[in-house]
Amino acid sequence: MPAKSRKMMFCMFAPLHQLKVLGSVIKCILIDMRRKSQMSPAKSKSQQQAAGAALSAKRGEVSVASLKGAARSMYRSMTARELRELAKTPIATLPKHKR
């Protein structure tokens, strides 16, 4: 039986409100899993400082042209929320560079 017709059969037998609830529960679980996987503290002082520089460029406090290396790639690939998580790591507990 094709997938489309199986899906339609399920929809015919399940009440509509149950399908909506199930869909919203799955959506919440996926969003929560994505957030947990993205949020991790910085591994080194260098990473924390690069994240801080990229975050200040995202906010418009520093020009993007002044960013170099890791800070520039972080600016391009990460959201402000992800950068904030990396930048707020306490520096006292981190090694200078992770080898």
Q: What is the reported pLDDT for 67?
A: 94
Question: Across the chain, what does the average pLDDT equal?
Answer: 76
Q: What is the reported pLDDT for 68?
A: 94
Angle at 71 between CA 66 and CA 76, to 5 degrees: 95
Q: What is the reported pLDDT for 93?
A: 76
Q: Which residue has the higher pLDDT, 8 or 65?
A: 65
> Is the model's pLDDT at 86 over the cut of 70?
yes
Q: Which residue has the higher pLDDT, 16 or 22?
A: 22
| 89: alpha, beta or left? (left if phi > 0; alpha if psi -120 to 50) | beta
Cα–Cα dist 88/97, whole Å = 17
Average pLDDT estimate for 73-79? 91
Cα–Cα dist 89/77, whole Å = 19
Cα–Cα dist 69/58, whole Å = 16
Residue-wise pLDDT for 50-71, tens only, equals 999 999 999 999 999 999 999 9
Question: How is residue 66 annotated by DSSP?
Answer: G
